[in-house]
Structure 1
Amino acid sequence: MSDTSTMPSAASGAGAALGAPTAEVPDANTSVYLNKRAIIIKRFLRNKPAVAGVIVLLLVVCFAVFGNIPNGWVYDDLDPWAAGGAPPSARHWLGANTAGADVYALLVRGTQKSLLIGFLVGVVTPLIAAVYGTTLAFFGGKVDQIGLFILETMIMMPSLILIAILMNGRGGGWITLSVLLIVFGWMGTARLVRGLAYSLVQLDYVKAARYMGVPAHRIIRRHLVPNIASLVVLNVTMSIWGAILSEVSYSFIGIGVSIPDTSLGLMISQASSALSSQPWLFWAPVVTLFFITVPLALINDGLRDALDPNSLSAGTAR
Structure 2
Amino acid sequence: MSTQTTTPASPAASECTPDGASVYLNKRRIIVKRFFRNKPATIGLIILSLVVLFAIFGNLPNKWSYDDLDPFAAGGEAPSAVHWFGTNVAGADVYALLVRGLQKSLMIGFLVGVITPILAALIGTTMAYFGGWVDKIILFVLETLIMMPVLILVAILMNGRGGGWFTLAVLLIVFGWMGTARLIRGLSMSLVQLDYVRAARYMGIHPARIIRRHLVPNIASLVVLNVTMGIWGAILSEVAYSFIGIGVKIPDTSLGLMIAQASTMLETQWWLFWAPVVTLFFITIPLALINDGLRDALDPASLSAGTAS
- TM > 0.5 fold call: yes
**Pair 1:125 & 2:85 matched:** no
In structure 2, the residue matched to 1:93 is: 84
The runs of at least 4 aligned residues of structure 1 exceeding 3 Å deviation read none
Give the superposition deviation at 1:272.
0.3
Give the superposition deviation at 1:181.
0.4
In structure 2, the residue matched to 1:8 is: none
Q: 1:232-243 alignment to 2 at 5 Å?
A: 232-243=223-234
Cα distance in structure 1, aligned partners of 2:217 and 2:246: 37
Cα distance in structure 2, aligned partners of 1:105 and 1:145: 50
Cα distance in structure 2, aligned partners of 1:254 and 1:71: 29
Give the superposition deviation at 1:226.
1.2
Q: 1:200-215 alignment to 2 at 5 Å?
A: 200-215=191-206
Q: Any gaps of 5 or more consecutive residues in structure 1?
A: 1-32
Specify which of 157, 163, 183 is matched with residue 166 of structure 1: 157
Instruction: Choose between structure 1 and 2 for higher RCO, CA contacts under 8 A separated by at least 6 residues.
Output: 2
Q: What amino acid is the match of 1:36?
A: K
**Pair 1:63 & 2:51 matched:** no
In structure 2, the residue matched to 1:303 is: 294
Cα deviation digits, residues 109-150 of structure 1 (max 9, x gap): 000000000000000000110000000000111111121111
Structure of greater Rg: 1
Cα distance in structure 1, aligned partners of 2:28 and 2:190: 23
Cα distance in structure 2, aligned partners of 1:48 and 1:189: 29
Cα distance in structure 2, aligned partners of 1:142 and 1:62: 48
Q: Any gaps of 5 or more consecutive residues in structure 2?
A: 1-22
Q: Percent identity?
A: 79
Q: Give the secondary-structure state (helix, strand or coil) at the position aligned to 1:35.
A: helix
Cα deviation digits, residues 6-55 of structure 1 (max 9, x gap): xxxxxxxxxxxxxxxxxxxxxxxxxxx98111111110010000000000
Q: What amino acid is the match of 2:235?
A: I
Q: TM-score, normalised by structure 2?
A: 0.92
In structure 2, the residue matched to 1:52 is: 43
In structure 2, the residue matched to 1:176 is: 167
Q: What amino acid is the match of 1:285?
A: P
Q: Give the secondary-structure state (helix, strand or coil) at the position aligned to 1:76.
A: coil
Specify which of 166, 190, 194 is matched with residue 199 of structure 1: 190
Q: TM-score, normalised by structure 1?
A: 0.89
In structure 1, the residue matched to 2:5 is: none
Q: What amino acid is the match of 1:281?
A: L
